[in-house]
Structure 1
Amino acid sequence: MKRYLSIATICLSVFCSCTKDTEKPKVIYETQKSKTETTYQKIDSTQIKIADLPIKFNGTNYLLHPVGNVRVYNTGSSRYGSSKINSQVSYKISNYATPEITGFITNVMFQHKDSLSLKPLTENKMEILSITFLDELALKTNKQLLVYSLVDKDTNKDGKYDDNDIKTLYISTINGQKFTKLTKDLHELLDWQLIDTKLYFRSIEDINKNGEFDSNDTVHYSFINLLNDTWQPEVYNPLG
């Protein structure tokens, strides 16, 4: 009996080891392409999209229509045996709690409250995780800006845009104009913070190119002056 238990233990260990080894890294590097080359996928016009009801941040004149896909969830239950699986459909794209919108957002349509015309945020394929209105900045300076945490590339090459890919930081005006990327390509966004008229953020770079972000990699510190006409990140070192 002990011999069988030992064999089972060994098999389980080998299985766990193999499972761990097959986990997909967060970045798959394209060695054949130039390191400076950046390509973004365009939105697939054949996909069926839906939009949430519009959201308007307090004190602004623009409506934001979050756009996304219908999501089907497998409940794992069955009414007439295992061959029939029940599923649930969600038409909810986003959640709003001032001053932030979160959800599974693939694009945003912007509309002035007194107009019927709508303009998209981007023509590139993205998964927007959060949109934050800088309400404190607006009160102090009348500058109305939005900050985005999003995925703009399928960095792990699994065919999906989700939080298993590298998260990046973007900014735009309240009407979606001047949509600008702040983090460098293949730098994972850690966090960001608004202090007075400056936006500070941290990102991590996969220095050893092993596809994972860990303690052996480098953390970068940057900020932008939001009152400037162009948002050019400046590097600083809080460690001296």
Structure 2
Amino acid sequence: MRNNLLLILGLLLISSCSENTPTIVYDEDDKVNTSETVKDTLKYQIGDLPIKIDSLDYLIHPIGEIADSENNKKNTYSYGADNYTTFQLATERGDEIFGQMKNLLFENIKNGETTLLTDENIEIQKVNYLRDVAELSGKNHITYEVIDSDTNNDHTLDNNDILSLYLSNGDGVGFRKLTKKNSNLIDYKTIPELNRLYFKSVSDSNKNSVFDREDEVIYQFIILGINKIIDYNPSN
């Protein structure tokens, strides 16, 4: 019973990380005033157990950071009189992986070769294998919901920064950003019959540092395989 409760609490902690309340800080020239992130000395890097998505010849190893202090509430939860550090970085749900991941290691199960997804300082909150596209086209693609810029200028990457959409091949190669710079991801979906990935984001066009109804909504899609991003506007 106790172990089940701890597992539930851990999953709730991870799922809560997906809530995104971004803000943007501007400098005197109305440019986004991002800052260099500062390494948290109370955290250290670990890996998680590998995840195998069928149809892919790769194991996906999540890599992230956990607190080296029981006082860091972001990475600990209480049960009774004790504090427990959760060492779980990610959880799998079908073709999706949720969590707080700094990187992914792709391991080829046929030859054992490994490849890191990126060398950039980012936070990956969600990974999604596009199975419906693969079933029709035979091509494997993965999308990522990523925080890649400290837009609120607090020297950390977290849910107060904008969320971006990234894409790669099924082996992690070709990792690239899809959403426009300084636009916050709203939603995305695939149209597998057309081999397209549609996505929309919002830009802080009135520059009031938050995203609201007065801002511009950006509509785009990418033709998978060709990797051409096209802007469109369904309201015109």
| Counterpart Cα distance in 2 of 1:38 and 1:120 | 26
1:144 maps to: 140
Q: Where does residue 225 of structure 1 map in the other structure?
A: 223
Question: Is 1:210 paired with 2:213?
Answer: no
* 1:134-213 map, 5 Å: 134-196=130-192, 197-213=195-211
Unaligned runs of 5+ in 2: 1-20, 68-74
Letter of the 1:148 partner, please give it.
Answer: Y
1:133-191 per-residue CA deviation (whole Å, 9 max, x = no partner) reads 00111111110000011100111112221222100000000111111100011000000
In structure 1, the partner of 2:26 is 29
Q: Conserved in 2, the CA contact under 8 Å of 1:40 and 1:152?
A: no
Q: How big is the shift at 1:51? A: 1.1
Please, which of 45, 48, 52 is the counterpart of residue 48 of structure 2? 52
Question: Which string of whole-angstrom CA distances, capped at 9 and with x for unpartnered residues, describes residues 96-137 of structure 1?
Answer: 011100111111011101233322111111111100000111
Do the aligned residues in 1 keep the contact of 2:78 with 2:84 (CA within 8 Å)? yes
Shift of 1:30: 3.7
1:89 is matched with which residue? Answer: 85
Query: For residue 73 of structure 1, what is the aligned residue in structure 2?
Result: 76
Contact 1:26 1:211 in 2 (8 A): yes
Q: What is the RMSD of the two structures over their aligned residues, measured on CA atoms?
A: 2.8
Describe the SS at the equivalent of 1:53.
coil
- Cα separation, 2, equivalents of 1:38 and 1:213: 17
Please identify which structure carries the higher strand content.
2
Which amino acid is the alignment partner of residue 213 of structure 1? F
TM-score, scaled relative to structure 2: 0.79
Cα 1:56–1:187, aligned 2, differ >3 Å: closer, same or farther? Answer: same
Q: CA deviation at 1:52?
A: 1.2
Larger radius of gyration: 1
Distance in 2 (CA, whole Å) between partners of 1:218 and 1:124 is 28
The 8 Å contact of residues 25 and 212 in structure 1, kept in 2 or not, is answered as: yes
> Does the 8 A contact of 1:40 with 1:124 survive in 2?
no
- Pair 1:117–1:190, CA change in 2 (3 A): same
CA drift of 1:222 comes to 0.5
Q: TM-score, normalised by structure 1?
A: 0.77
Unmatched tracts of structure 1, length 5 or more: 1-23, 79-85
Q: Secondary structure at the match of 1:219?
A: strand
* Cross-structure match for 1:62: 58
